[in-house]
Structures are given as C-alpha cells and as structure tokens.
Amino acid sequence: MGFEPRIVGFLCNWCSYTGADLAGTARIHYAPNVRVIRVMCSARVDPTFVVKALAEGADGVLICGCHPGDCHYSEGNYKAMRRFPLLGRLLRDYGIEEDRVRLEWVSASEGKRFAEIVDDMTERVRRLGPSRVKTLLEADRVER
Amino acid sequence: MPEKKLQIALYWGAACGGCDVAVLDTNEFVIGVGFLVDIRLWPIAADGKYRDVEAMADGELDCTLFHGAIRNSENEHLAKLLRRKSKVLVALGSCAHLGGIPGLANQVTKQEILERVYLDNPSIEAGNRVVPLPSTRVDAGELEIPRFYRRVYRLDDVVPVDYYVPGCPPAPEQVKAALQALVNGTLPPARSVIGASNRTVCDDCRRRKEEKKVTRFHRPWEILQDPDRCLMEQGILCAGSATRSGCGVRCPDSGMPCRGCYGPAPNVIDQGAKFVSAVSSIVDSKDPREIERILGDIPDILGYAYRFGLPASLLQRSIR
C-alpha cells in the first residue's frame, strides 16, 4: 500500500478556515491528507503544538493565517511570521526536513489557493516519506 | 535526635560531580546531617561497594539522591538497583531531572561520538586509535565495561522517580531545604519538583522590564550592558521566561543571562519550544527577510533552547 502523508493543519478561524470551507463548498478536488484543527488566530499556534504533532507521528504540519495586514486581531499573523523562522531552524537542527512544516497565508476567498497548497505540500511530504520520529522514539524505549 | 538514623545513598550517573559539590556546599549543614543519617553509598566522598548495596534488603534505604543522566548500562543498572533498595528516589540536578548537559549528545549518533572520541581526536596517537568494546578477551579472561547507549536518557526514563530537585547545580540552600524536608518527614506529594518555586526566573528577576523590541541579538560579551535593565530588552538571549525559578536568579544578578537549568516553568511541556516563542515575539519587524536576518544572529538554537533538557523535550533527540 502506498504511503499517505498525515498532515496536521492549524487554520485561523477568520481567513484560512473559511478559505478551506470555501474549497469544500466550491467542490474543489484536493488531497484529503490534511487534518484540520481550527484555531482563533495563527498566533495561537504555540511552537509546542508543532513539536507535539511531530512527536506524536504527524508527517507534516501546515499553519495557515490571514495575509499580512489582514489579521482579524490586527497583528496576530505577524507573531506567527516571527516565530516560524526560528522554529524552522530548531526543527532542522532536530533533523526534520524543511518541507514537513509550512506557514502560508490564505484569505477567506482563496479556496483554490488553499487546495493548491494542500496538494503541493502533500506531494512534497509524500516524496520525503513517512516521518521517522515516532518510530525512533518508540525504538529508544525498547532498545537502548 | 531520631531513634533510628535515616539510611541514605548518593549516587552519580552521567554527571560532572557538580551536584556532589552542591551537597557539600551546604557546609556545616551536611556535617550536621551526618548525625541524623547514615550515608550508605556516596562514591565521590565515601567508600562503599556495589555489592554492599546489592546485599541490602529492598526498601532498606530511606532515600537515594541520584544525580547524573543515564548514558550507559552501568548507570541504568545502578538506577534500578537503588530504586529497589530505596523508599524515596530523588533526581538531583538537571542531568537526572532532564538529561542535562550530557543530553546535548542526543544531537549526534553513538557512532559519531565513538569515532570522534576514540578515532578522530587529534590528541590520540596514531597507534592508539581503538574503540573500546563492552567485552574484551585478554589472557586473564574476559574484561567487561558498561555498554554505551545510543542516546542519553533521564533518570525518569528508566525508573519511577519520586521527587525532582532541579538545577545545574541545584542551589545549595535548595539542596538543604530538600534534605531538611526528608529528615523532618515533610515531603510534598510524590512526583513533584521540590527545591524550586512555581514561578519563572523572569517573575523573580530584579531587573527593570519595559517594552521588548529587539532589532539585533548579541552575545553577552559583545555589548556593554545596562546592569538594571532586562537582558532580553538589550538583545541578550535569556531563558528566564521559559524557566522555573528557585535558583535565586543568580545568573541575571551576575550580569549573565539565564541558561535554563531549572527546567521548564510549571505547566510548560517543552521548554525549548516556549523559549523559541518568547525570543521570536520580541523581534521588532514585520518584514520576513528582516526577521530572518535578526534571528540569524542566534547561533545553535537547539543547543540554546534545550541546553539542560534535550532528552526531556517532546522530540528528545535528533532524527538521524
């Protein structure tokens, strides 16, 4: 059986979740690999959430928020924008490939854009193969 | 004077010995403790053989203070042995609590460590490049040394731990408080962190805190710092906001940033992730490229964010 990536998606309530909703109501076909968790703002995505998703076996994590300047809370997405580069470096130091974690801006009217991002990310993660994090941590418990 | 002296052991796994010094730094107190307790094993300060521990009845020891991480099979063997022989097992210091400085080795593989230490190290003579094996056959018979593990573990990963005393090393007054609680029988509910507070280092820091907006990060020696102002506001990385207090804020008081040795603040699951969040949030820019540049001043983010607790982080080790 082929490998189907499991990607955790954190979508902001005001733009990106609505954008994903639009992709659905517009009946756009796209990869079913992202499991969506709605958050009030991309700033709500604590780096701990991303690390935890990866530790528990996610093959990828997608964070989506309003475009810069459009945040419902005026500046929340800038906080996500500032966190992301340092979190990315931390994850690369852990040996986690860059393509597994992604930050994108999707507005409420961009259903098509959301579908394209999900398709593209799913393909990139598929090429990387399953994340080895959970398997390795479980093996560490059995054999030291 | 109690009718029967408390029976205690102190033991080290993968450690530098600084925690032993922290116990000795309680000065006359530790001498006084000698009248209240029998020290049955303390490799750095007293004689005592493993076979003496093996000969004890289960639960014969009232308490073991275990410091150091679990790096090899000897560390784990003794952790399990002392767990069985002790009513109370205390993880003393960052290494036993979170993996400590030895835990940074979880960024590389066992193979890389052995090659670096025994083969590639420039100080080793050419004819002497030998990787030790767990067992070696010599004329006199079979020689054995402990097996070096693939990665570093916390004490908690191999045996159930009753209490954690954080710090690298723990502040002597906190060691004293923990020993005092043990002697008086006033220990809190099991599995709690003792000898520390429920606040963050920032909460207890005496430096002045204003708005945090940083356009450049510095190493502590690169700038002349304002001794009264928050170090983060001056662009010096300080782990105080993500770190449990109880240390007495010794580092920021001495002009050095907090390095995070007391471990995650209460209710924080992953200290490094919280540290990343805190550092990023003070960057004063809305331009992705400028943000990259400002954060680019920070070297070795993994090593900084998890200096004392990589094995205790959610991801625990590098994926290689």
Interface residue A79 vs chain B (CB under 8 A):
yes
Interface residue A133 vs chain B (CB under 8 A):
yes
What is the pTM for the complete model shown? 0.93
Query: Are B252 and B299 within one domain?
Result: yes
Q: How confident is the model at residue B1 (pLDDT cuts 50, 70, 90)?
A: very low
Structural domains of chain A ordered from first start: 7-142 (3.40.50)
Query: Are B19 and B164 within one domain?
Result: yes
Q: Give contacts of B288 with chain A, Cβ < 8 Å.
A: 81, 85
User: Could you tell me which chain B residue has the CA closest to the CA of A89?
Assistant: B301
Average pLDDT over residues B231-244: 96
List pLDDT tens digits, range B29-83.
877 777 778 889 999 988 888 999 999 999 999 999 999 999 999 999 999 999 9
List pLDDT tens digits, range A2-15.
899 999 999 999 99
Candidates A52, A132, A144; nearest CB to B314: A52
| pLDDT at position B32 | 78
Q: Report ipTM (2 d.p.).
A: 0.94
Per-residue pLDDT in tens (0 to 9) along chain A, 144 residues: 689 999 999 999 999 999 999 999 999 999 999 999 999 999 999 999 999 999 999 999 999 999 999 999 999 999 999 999 999 999 999 999 999 999 999 999 999 999 999 999 999 999 999 999 999 999 999 999
Tell me the nearest-neighbour CA distance from B105 into chain A, angstroms. 12
CATH code (residue B40): 3.40.50.700
User: Could you tell me which chain A residue has the CA closest to the CA of B296?
Assistant: A86
* Mean pLDDT, rounded, of chain B: 93
| pLDDT at position A114 | 98
Tell me the nearest-neighbour CA distance from A93 into chain B, angstroms. 6
| pLDDT at position B3 | 61
What is the 3 state secondary structure string of chain A? CCCCCCEEEEEECCCHHHHHHHHHHCCCCCCCCEEEEEECCHHHCCHHHHHHHHHCCCCEEEEEECCCCCCCCCCHHHHHHHHHHHHHHHHHHCCCCHHHEEEEECCCCCHHHHHHHHHHHHHHHHHHCCCCHHHHHHHHHHCC
**B225 assigned to some structural domain:** yes
List pLDDT tens digits, range B241-282.
999 999 999 999 999 999 999 999 999 999 999 999 999 999
Are B126 and B115 spatial neighbours (Cβ–Cβ below 8 Å)?
A: no
Query: Are B210 and B94 within one domain?
Result: no
Query: Are B243 and B220 within one domain?
Result: yes
Tell me the nearest-neighbour CA distance from A103 into chain B, angstroms. 12
Query: Could you tell me the residue range of the domain that residue B258 belongs to?
Result: 201-312
Q: Are the Cβ atoms of A86 and B151 closer than 8 angstroms?
A: no
The least confident of A73-82, B141-150, B180-189 is B180-189
> Which of A44, A48, A59 should we substitute to test contact with B (largest number of B Cβ atoms within 10 Å)?
A48
Query: Are B19 and B129 within one domain?
Result: no
